[in-house]
Chain A
Amino acid sequence: MPEKEKKMIGFKCKKCDRINYPKRTRCLSCKGMEFEEVELGKECELVTYTQIYNPPAGYKGDPPLMLGMVKFPNGVLGMGQLAIDHPKDLKLGAKLRPIWGMLREIGGKEVFGFKFELAKKSKT
């Protein structure tokens, strides 16, 4: 799948409808084992964030590492790096969207996943 089309996926329990994210073997609410893949959303909002000045070994960017917790319209929360240029744009409630990218190295190998960028880029 082209990277632009990658979607953040949650796992909706077929028994109780709870959307499990991240994926697990049995549903957290009802122990159901059958799930339907659902898109978490194209947009989300920033719930809380931090800028980490002492990132872990394996993170290849310059500190600080911006990290945030986001909430999708369906109530599901996620965590990830914030691809935001200006700390002034770090505001609780900021509208974000998931984008695919390189996160860090683990055991010398690059690991990819979703980060979050501003839904509307601010003018510099």
Chain B
Amino acid sequence: MRDVVIIGCGMTKFARPLPGSLMDIASEASLKAIEDAGASDRDFDAVYFASMACGEFTHQAAVATALVDELGLIPAAAHRIENGPAAGATAIREAFLGIASGMYDLVLVTGAEKMSTVPSEVATDIISTMTHHEAEYIHGVTLPGLGAMLTRLYMARYGLTEDQLAAVAVKNHENGSKNPYAQLSHKKATIAGVKDSVMVADPLRLYHVCPVSDGAASLVLCSAEKAREFSSKAIKIAGLGQATDTHAVQEREDPMVLKAVQIAARQAFKMARLKPKDIDVAELHDAFEILEIVESEDAGFFPKGKGGKAAEEGKTALDGEIAINPSGGLKARGHALGATGAAQVVELVWQLRGEAGERQVKGAKNAFALNFGGFGDNAVVTILRRTK
């Protein structure tokens, strides 16, 4: 397998609504990444477009073909990747495999979603279609509903307190306030404010739940040998992992364990020859703040049941043991489904290049991204390393 590096990245601001069509925002992020890579005059071998539900939100299909046309990159191979909210990281993984195999040299990955096109309850329904159709979806299950049921179980078993849960939201809003691309960059949060916010799915309140977002994020991937022709800022994709779990949450041996996350993380650490303690900065999939806690445990950063306390003690802050969600995470940067996994990796590339401004994690060398689909039924881990 050939080494694969990221040589360019870019994104739009996440917002609701973000002006422009799906193709406008996808193009904006793509051009930023291409320019960042110093590849504006280059042809690409392939373009991967990650979107969970462009058909449902914007009545468009075959969006990868459309993007290649839009960007003047014909005849590049074009693929749309749909893998629930894990589409972004999955597209990066597919691009990696294409380059590592020797099939491709230069690949563009763009994740984009425009969710503001429909009313909230319709967006909720579209997102819910990824749950098990007969066992979950037809009953009116929503993703916040699943997050809420997990939170209640976890509080009963591990004694997670409301203050600990709120601490994750406060930290992510604090980080997001330092990120000009974050949807909620203008909103800070306090423990009391989180605990007093409106109930969404009890015990989850507004400040425990990610917003509905529009946004796009892009990366240019290239073989390590070809990267010498481009910028000197290349960041290596050192490890990848992906695993699945039962589609219906109720069928898991223990609903409080995200087994797919455990397996995907283990695979990625093995490939990168790293351990959880080697990671300086991580972007986790905190669609609901309980998930950041459980994921931080199942990825191996904290023992089971201790993730909430770790957040409360500041261990996951920008200057903590491991900085988690310096971008603000899904909570404050926003969660534009297909764009999210790409945006996580864009943030980590900036962190490893030392370009993250006020939210820079000092001296970051190894970074970890977890993007997942469904309610933990399809987890994708990407480990990045600064080699210079």
Judge if A94 is at the interface, Cβ distance under 8 Å.
no
- A96-124 vs B, Cβ < 8 Å mask (1 yes, 0 no): 00000001101000010100000000000
Assembled-state Cα–Cα distance A50/B200 (Å): 10
Assembled-state Cα–Cα distance A56/B246 (Å): 23
Minimum CB–CB distance from A77 to chain B (whole Å) comes to 4
Contact of A57 among B124, B135, B149, B200 (CB under 8 A): B124
Assembled-state Cα–Cα distance A48/B200 (Å): 16
Judge if B72 is at the interface, Cβ distance under 8 Å.
no
Interface residues on B, range: 35 or more
Interface contact B140-A56, CB-CB below 8 Å: yes
- The interface centre, meaning the residue of A57, A68, A78 with most chain B CB atoms within 10 A of its CB, is A57
Interface contact B125-A56, CB-CB below 8 Å: yes
Given contacts A51-B201, A57-B119, A57-B121, contact A22 B135 (CB under 8 A): yes
* Smallest Cβ-Cβ distance to B149: which chain A residue: A48
- A78-99 vs B, Cβ < 8 Å mask (1 yes, 0 no): 1111000000000010000000
- A39-68 vs B, Cβ < 8 Å mask (1 yes, 0 no): 000000001111111111111000011011
Interface contact A81-B139, CB-CB below 8 Å: yes
Interface size on A, residues (CB 8 A): 33
* Smallest Cβ-Cβ distance to A79: which chain B residue: B250
Judge if B41 is at the interface, Cβ distance under 8 Å.
no
Interface contact B141-A79, CB-CB below 8 Å: yes
Judge if B229 is at the interface, Cβ distance under 8 Å.
no
Assembled-state Cα–Cα distance A65/B152 (Å): 16
9 extra interface residue pairs, beta carbon distance < 8 Å, beyond A56-B125, A79-B141: A49-B152, A52-B140, A55-B140, A56-B124, A58-B125, A59-B140, A69-B255, A77-B250, A77-B251
Residues in chain A within 8 A of chain B (CB atoms): 21-23, 28, 47-59, 64-65, 67-69, 77-81, 92, 103-104, 106, 111, 113
Residues in chain B within 8 A of chain A (CB atoms): 119-122, 124-125, 128, 132, 134-136, 138-142, 144-145, 148-150, 152-153, 156, 198-204, 246, 248-251, 255
A-B contact pairs, 24 of them (CB 8 A): A21-B135, A22-B135, A48-B149, A50-B145, A50-B149, A52-B148, A52-B201, A54-B120, A54-B142, A55-B124, A55-B140, A56-B142, A58-B125, A64-B202, A67-B145, A67-B149, A69-B249, A69-B250, A92-B156, A103-B138, A103-B140, A104-B138, A113-B134, A113-B139
